[in-house]
Each structure stands twice: as structure tokens, then as C-alpha cells.
Chain A
Amino acid sequence: MNRDMRQIAIACFYGTIASSAGIALTATSGWLIVRASEQPIMLTLLTAIVAVRAFGMARPFFRYLERLASHNAALSDLANRRTDAYRSLIPLTPARLGRSARSDVLAGVVDDLTEVAEAPARAWVPALSGALSAIGAAVLAALFLPAAGLLMLGYVTAVAALTWWALRGERVIEPACAEAQRRVAEVTDQAAWQAVEVSAIGASKALAAELATAHTNLDEATRRQARVRARLVAGLVANTAGGTAGMAWLVLTQGLATGLLSAPIAALLVLLPVAVGEAISGLPDTVRAFARAEAAEQRMSRLLSQDPAVDSTGEAQVPADADAPSIQLSDAQASWTSASASNTDPATPSLQLPAFRLTHGTHLAVRGPNGCGKSTLMAVLARHLDRSAGDHTINGRDVGELSMAHTRELFAISGDEPHVFNASLAENLRVAAPEASDEQMIDALVVVGLKPLLDTLPEGLETRLGLGGHTPSAGERARLALARAVISRRHVLLLDEPTAHLDRGTAAEVMERLRAVAQGKSLVLVTHRREDLEHFADILELDAPRATPTRRSDHARRPIIADAAW
């Protein structure tokens, strides 16, 4: 961190020299031309000629050094921030990332990190080096004519005021802009993913109208943003006009008329505001970068400041008969919202979990309406989410006393948002079982019905998935996640609608093979399919939610704080 600060300071130093060289180039050129027109001996001009050349070459050279230093600092800052954010996200995953679209939340963090890390290179360094070189110009002016120094100071103050005004505006608009962009993305996503479903019910026009509304809001936000930016741009030009006019009058009345200044110096001073104006012409971009980085930082700190959803202080080993874990829940409640975050949304309901008992080797089916707490139950069982009240024991020991890592190793959970890594099929499976042999992997693929896919892949298990390889369909992704659960050899399988993406025939086959694989293990299956239930002796029926549905629509992308659970 300290190293980065030094890098940024160095970048500011180079940037100040580069900006000052630019200002000096214009000013000394003016001096040189006027002095030359006085037809002196050529020798007296040589120093100035060398100076002009030096300034002209120093500007690109130091600009180059500045950009290298600031980007190097930004990139190493980005690397550190990424590692830190990743580390802080581990205890928050998955429960504190919201109930759905978790990968969107995580993708948002990736973008926000970049935005924050780029702030020094795009905002701090240009702003500071611009300010320092402008102050330097004011000092230079004061050396020749104190009143001119004061005028330049006024000029710089006006720039600062304009910048502050614009920054204030950008700060207000940025969140509205981000929200409008999010909404546009949400609606276009619906059109991209559900085009058939939408046109099937004749709702194409309704969706088009939604998109138009979302874009109208975005247009409004960007228009306000453009207005702020345009005001700053115009203000800076006007300020330079005023500065130049004032300087000309000052130089004439206080300098030339009194004989205090020579003509070449007079030219230098009159050109100064124009030169400074050029050096700070990038300010509007700087202001925008500031506002964006701030908004990104706020979003991230809201996410990362949450309490973990699980207590990881327990250290006890899972009791010796863990091969046969017997799990019990009684009077348990759980909430998806962090206690620290719920200040903003005090009405977050806690969900009452059913009395639950699972002895080793039991196969249990869970059914009930959407939102009745099936996924919450699964998350609590897998220790992704700790209960907020009641009892939760494994082999009679309270889970809070048990090592979280060890407890989690008992469970394989296949959920609703399976991720396929941009790596080979084998590596994707080894995430769940690092030691797995090729035969074991092929067996797992057979169980989930992916053997036909494997046979078509050009390099078999070593075929790369995703970018630059085979892009799996939604159904293939779900089954790959299932294959991970199968190959993990964990004692309890928690499967949430594992066959939802499959057609009936395949679904029945996959279920049959899954039950066979799970012989001797515990299996908890959440399902909507009636035919699945026929094979289960134990069925847990859950009631409709007692808590009332609350507004959910507003929090689709970042359902961190206000996403109610029931």
C-alpha cells in the first residue's frame, strides 16, 4: 500500500513537470518571439531557444514517465485490492451475496474494483499535477509582478470552485445513472433470455415499452450529467478568457506603463492563463472519474461491511461417528439479511424452519411452494447460513461448536446458479474432488447423463469449457454441477431441483442413477416433480410462507441489503 502511495507521489511529480513544461513552452515561446522582434544579437536568444526546445521535449518525456508510474501504481493497487476483496468475500459467500443472481453481484465487484483502482491514474494524478503546475505558474507570475501572481491565484481558485461545483453535481447524478443503467440491463436481459416466452404471450410491446421507459430514465440521467460536464467545460473557457483579459490590462497598466516589465516578459504573462487553461483541459474527465470511483467504493463497502452469515469460531472436530452424521433442527429460524445491514430495513423477517431430522443413509424429498423456505433449509444444513434462533445439531453437538470447514465438508450442495470455470472439463470436476481419477470423472458424467456430451468433445475430459472451447448450455451447466456433487464423495447430498432443466425421460434416468449413487449416503432432494416422490419413503411437506411477500423487484442486481427472505 505504502509502495503504491510512493508510486503515485512519483507519478504526480512527473505529471507536474510535464504540465509545467507545457505551460512554460507556450510562455517562453511568447517571450522568445517578442524578444526576437526587438532584433537583439542572436547570442542573447540562445538560452531561450535551448529552453523552448527543452520544454518541448520534456513534456512528452515526463508525460510518458507519469503514465507509466501512475498505471503501474494503479495496476499493483488493483492486484492488492482484488486479493483483499476476494479474501473478504469468502466468509460472506454465498449467503450475503443475496438470494439470486450472485454471479452478477460478484461481476459487479470486479467492475467496481477496476473503477476504484483506476482512480489514482485517472483522477488523482491529473488533478494534483494540474493544480501544482497552475500554482507554480502563479508563483512565477508573482515573481515578475505581484499583482499578476494574485490574478493567477484568483484564476486557480475559480478553477477549483468550478471543479468542486461539477464534482458535487456528478456525485448526485452518478447513483441515479448507475441505477438507470442497471434497469436498462435488466430489461435487455429479459429480452435476450426470454424472447420466446415474451412473444408467446403477446407481451413484446409491453417489454418494448419497459425498455423505452428505462431508457428515458437513463437519458434523463445522462442528460443531467452532460449538463454538469458542459457547464464545467464552458466555465473553464470563460475563466481563461477573463484571466487573459485581466492579465493584459494588469500588465499594461501596472507593468509596461510603469516600466516595471519588459515587452517579452509582458508577452509571457499575457500568455500564461491560456497556457494554464490548456494544461488543465482534461479536468472534466478527471471529475467524472472521481465521481465514478467514489460510487464504486461505496457500493463495495456496503457489500463487504456485512457480518458473515456463519460463525466460524467453532473449533471442535465433527464427532467421530461423522461418517454417519445425524442432523437435527428444532424451532430454528434463519434470516438472509446481515444484522448490521438490517438497520436500513428493520422489517426483515426471519423464516421459521421446519422441525427436521436426518439420520445417516436416509433419502428425503422436500416439497412445497416457491418461497416456503426450501433453499433456506438447504443453506442452513450446508452451513452456508447459520440459524438465528433454535437448535441445530450434528450427532448431538451444537454446530456452533464445530469447525465450520469440517462441517461443510460433510455436505455437497448443488444449487441454482452453477458456475462453469473457463478451464478443462476435468479441472471443472476436480474443483469438487482434486484427487479424482479419469474413470471416476467419467462415471460421474455418466450418472448425470453427460456421457453423450463427453463423447462429442474433441479432447474429451481435457476439452476447455467456456471461452475458447465448448460453451455449455444451461442444462449442461446444471448437470456439471450435479456431477461435482456426485464426485465429491461427501456424506450428505443436498440437491435443489437437480433435474429442472431436463426433459422427462432424461430426468427420470438421472434421478434413478443418482439414487443408486447415493446408496449408503444421506440425500435431501428438493423437487417439484411428482414422479420423483414415488421413490422416497420420507417426504417433508412445507407450507406456504407465513411471512408476506415484500417488494423484491427493486433489488434484482444487488440484493444485498433489502432483499427480504421469508
Chain B
Amino acid sequence: MSKSGGPFDKRLVTLVPSARKPLVLLAALGVIQGGLAIGVAVAVTNLVVQVIAQGRLVMPIASLVAVMAARAVASWLAETVSARLAALVSRELRRSLTTRWLSAPSEQAIEPATRAALASQGVTAIEPYVTKYLPALIAGVVTPVLALLALLWVDPISVLIVLLTLPLLPFFAALIGMATERETQRRWQRLADLSGHFSDVMKGLPTLVNYGRAERQTEVIAQVNGAHRRATMRTLRLAFMSSAALELLASLSVAIVAVTVGLRLTYGSMELFAGLLAILLAPEAYWPIRKVGAEFHAAADGVQALDDVANELVSDDVDPKAEDAESSQSAHLIDPGGAAVSMQGVTYRYPAAANEVIGGFAASWDRGLHTVTGISGAGKTTLLEIIAGLRTANTGVVISGDVHFVTGRPYLPAGTLRNALTLGNEASDAAIWEALQDVDLERWAHGLPSELDTAFGEDGFGMSAGQRARIVLARAALSDTSVILLDEPTAHLDPTATAQVHEALLRLASSRCVIAVTHQSALMAIADTQRELLAAT
């Protein structure tokens, strides 16, 4: 929050350039609404004066209805625009975040749980900042200025009083804020602990039930919830008291305006119209400022989240450059359609590690089936990730065709069989059936209740391990890449399934460069080349 500088965080526009237009529109609507609030005060005053004078009401009523109608339309537009803006901002931020995660090399990856929280709750928290705080901010600046200008027109003395008392509001707000800030800071950790406790116990309920400890927690929950209520109420009492104090201050300021207006009316030194308008306008100068304060607290989480998102999206772009300074010797060239991989002098060191995991690696593979072996920790998976461009080597040159990489736990979201097979490609049904035939799953697929439209759970729930292994091979075949990498394709398979996968691999290798990391001697035996990766020392 503190890093954002002024009241409006400009990074919002930097991160979501398309938000500029609706933001400007919203600001314009804020100005119009401020003007209309003044207009309503004028029209109401005019109407009251005309009623009392028992004059003709047609014009005053018509003007009041016109101003109010304009206000209704402006409110309607503002609601619509701010909802759209919120949707736009969250959509674009999520898009940028996921795009970044899906393209950034693994070295820069932050903890997945942090990512998930950032993209869901984090982005959602930015919405109130956009839909509530920003409009309040605009109204808070525009409406008091317009109200003062209108007041200047009818009663300059009241302007003087407002100008003298208005600064008291931010002043007192700051005083109260400073006092409560210390108090809140002191309690924050305890409050976070208390409110996190229930959620923690709930998520752990299966574990507690498992070990017969669930009932015993009931009392603890009641106790902690009681403590949470008391601690929250202490904090809320302060917050409510400070907003009541500010409202009281505004009330008293308006009262000063009203008293001077009343006195001048009684002595006949003022017109009714001017007097009435002055007391209707005076509150308009005060309340928007209080509203900004109230909404700011509501939007504080959003500001924090905006900060986090901005850090993830912007500042990380700087890091690779810093890394580049020492790792600029590496190059990764793509040779589209080339069914070959060659590596020269490739070294790799994990970001936080002291030693290289891969040192001076060189290899050259072309069409056919190739295996890579090595002990645990030798960097086999890392090697595949470097070829796939998911990691960037520190030194060396990698030249490869387009790569499809079947990871150790392949991506299989819940969905239909067709969906699983066409991820990353746009294969026709005919091509899908052909690929299924090549992995010997055609008969199985025909036997499914809805054939290609049969739905499976996440990670292929509902398929056997062997079927899953062949489905991801069929998907690899459907991709039009010339290089296919596999991480332990037969690790958890029984002999029958292993044989079926071997057959499918050989078929793939007839036209493409297939490189498999494996421990299985049976797979090595059928490969065209074998390579052992030694741990770098």
C-alpha cells in the first residue's frame, strides 16, 4: 500500500492498458454526477421557493424531473461502466498472469500455491478498488469543488466558512488514522491468527476425523471464535468511532453554515433561495471526502493485491536481464520441422544452487528412438526441460525442431477424451481415430459409452495407468512437432502395458526424433541410441 505513492495507483493503467478508456469514462461520469448533485440541489431549492411563493410549478417541476432523470441515467451508466471495468481488469490481469506463467522459464516460477492465491483471491480483491474506491475518489475531488463554486455564486460568506472548516476533516482523519493505525498494527497479527484458525481446522477436518481428534476441537473452536469476536469488535469499535467522529465534525460544520444563514435570513440580509441552496449545498462539500476515507479502508486489500500482481508481472521482467549478464553465452535455436536435437557445451545450474547440475553436455540426436539414463538427481528431467525451452541453459547452444514434451505427470484436465487428445493441436476426428489405432486404443475407445465424448476425471481418472500412458502418446503423435520428449514413459506400467507403449514409441520414432528419459532396461534395449547422464561434479 505504501509503495503505490498517490491515491491513484497508475500501475493499474500500465498493467491493463485497455482499462484507460473506461476509467476516463468513469471519471467523466463522476464529474457529471457531481454536477448533477449540484443541479438537483438547485432544482429542489427552486421548487420549494416556487411552492412557497405559490407560483407556477410547471417549469420548476420540469427542470427537477429533467435533472433527476439525467442523474438516474448517469447513475445507471456509472454502475454499468464500473461493473464492466471490474470485469475487464480482472480478466486482463488473470490473462497476463497465466500467460506469464505459461511462457516464463521454470527458474522464475514462484510457489504454485502463491500463484493460485494471487490469480483468484488477489485479483478479485482488486475489483472493489476499481468499482468503489476510484469512483468515490473522483466524487470526493469533484463534488466539493463544484459545490463550492455553486455556493460562491449564491453566498460567498458560506464558502469562507466551508473553506475554513473543510481542512479539519482530513486533518482529524489523519489524526484518528494515526492513532488507530498503531492499535491495528498491534492487533493485526493476533487477529489474522484468530481468523485463520477456523479455516485451518476446517481444512484439516479429514485429518482430525482420521485420528479421532475432531470432537475435541469443538471447544477450542468455540473459544477461539469468542476471542476472534472480541478482538474484531475492539478493532471495529475504533473504526466506527472514527467515522462517527468525522461525521459529527461535518455535521457541526454544516450547522455553522446553517446558523449564519439563519441569522442573515432573520435580519433580512439574504434571499430565501440563496439561504436554502446554501444549506443544501454545504453537506455536498463534506460527505464525499468521508466516503473516500470509508471506501479506502474497504479497498486497502485491493491496493495490496495490485501491488503483488504488479510485482509478479513487472519486476520479474527485470530479473532475467540481471541473470543474462552472466548467462548470455547460451543460445536456443529452433529449426522448424527439423527432426533432430543437438546440444553443445550445455551447462545448467539451479538458480539458488552453488554447483552445476549439468556440465558441458554435448549430444546429437536425429530421427529414431533415443534413451537417456542416469542416477536420481543427475538432471535428466532438467535436460528435457532445457531442450523443451522450459529452462534456459547457463552456457552452450541447443538446436532443436519443434518440441512436444510428455512430462512425468502429463496435463490431463477433467473433460472429454477428445478434449484430452486435442490439447495443443487441432486434429480432426479422423486423425484422432488413426492416432488411437496406432497406440492400440481404438477398440477401447469404441467401447466407451460416448466414444470420444466420454468424460474422464482429472489426471485421467477412470483410465488405467497403461491407457493413460498411451493416450498421452497418441496426443504426442497428433501434435505436428518433429521432436518428442518423454519423462519415464513406462515407469509405473505392468509388462503388457509396457509392451504396448514400446510398440507405440517405435511407431512414433519412425518419423520423428523421440528422446525418452528412463530407468527401464527393456526400453533401452529397443532404442536406437542410449546415453547415460553423469552427475556433474
Contact = CB atoms under 8 A, between A and B. Distances in A.
Interface stretch (B16-24, B218-226, B431-439, B526-534): B218-226
Interface secondary structure of A, over-half rule: helix
B465 interface: yes
A248 B102 contact: no
B10 interface: no
Contacts of A415: 206
B350 to A, nearest CB: 15
B338 to A, nearest CB: 17
Contact of B102 (A207, A225, A488): A207
B342 interface: no
A52 B283 CA distance: 14
A249 interface: yes
Contacts of A206: 422-424
A274 interface: yes
Interface string B203-222: 11111111111110110011
Contacts of B174: none
A188 B265 contact: no
B332 interface: no
Contacts of B192: 467
Given A208-B95, A226-B79, A240-B68, A64 B103 contact: no
B279 interface: yes
Contacts of A223: 80, 83-84, 87
A252 B57 contact: yes
A434 B208 CA distance: 12
Contact of B449 (A244, A548, A556): A548
A237 B209 contact: no
Interface stretch (A123-131, A150-158, A197-205, A442-450): A197-205
A201 B411 contact: yes
Contacts of B424: 201-203, 205-206
A103 B377 CA distance: 32
Contact of A86 (B47, B57, B201, B267): B201
Given A552-B455, A552-B456, A82 B221 contact: yes
A50 to B, nearest CB: 11
Nearest to B198: A82
A34 to B, nearest CB: 6
B349 interface: no
A68 B405 contact: no
Interface string B418-462: 000011110000000000000000000000110000111111111
A1 interface: no
A418 B205 CA distance: 10
A197 B411 contact: yes
Interface residues of A, number: 148
Contacts of B255: 52-53, 56
Contacts, number: 424
Interface string A402-426: 0001001100110101110110000
A30 interface: yes
B98 interface: yes
B470 to A, nearest CB: 13
Given A207-B98, A551-B455, A192 B116 contact: yes
Interface secondary structure of B, over-half rule: helix
Contact of A191 (B98, B248, B414): B98
A344 interface: no
Contacts of B71: 237
Interface in B233-272: 233, 236-237, 240-241, 243-245, 247-248, 251-252, 254-255, 258-259, 261-262, 265-268, 270-272
B256 to A, nearest CB: 11
Contacts of B112: 192-193, 195
Contact of A556 (B72, B202, B414): B414
B contact residues, range: 35 or more
A431 B213 contact: yes
A271 interface: yes
A317 interface: no
Nearest to B109: A195
Interface stretch (B48-56, B165-173, B356-364): B48-56
Nearest to A488: B211
Contacts of B225: 78-79, 82-83
B207 A481 contact: yes
Interface string A205-218: 11110011001001
B212 A106 contact: no
Contact of B240 (A64, A89, A368, A503): A64
B229 interface: yes
Contacts of B99: 204, 208
A86 B218 contact: yes
B410 interface: yes
Contact of B75 (A233, A241, A417, A550): A233
B152 interface: no
B178 interface: no
A32 to B, nearest CB: 6
Give the 8 A-B residue pairs with the shortest CB-CB distance, closest first. Answer: A369-B464, A226-B83, A241-B68, A79-B225, A200-B405, A549-B462, A192-B115, A202-B424
13 contacts: A33-B275, A94-B210, A97-B206, A192-B118, A197-B407, A201-B479, A230-B83, A233-B75, A256-B51, A256-B52, A270-B44, A553-B414, A553-B455
Given A36-B261, A504-B376, 20 more contacts: A29-B279, A60-B247, A64-B241, A188-B98, A188-B119, A196-B106, A199-B102, A201-B410, A206-B422, A212-B95, A218-B87, A256-B54, A369-B466, A370-B459, A431-B207, A467-B192, A484-B207, A544-B464, A552-B456, A553-B455
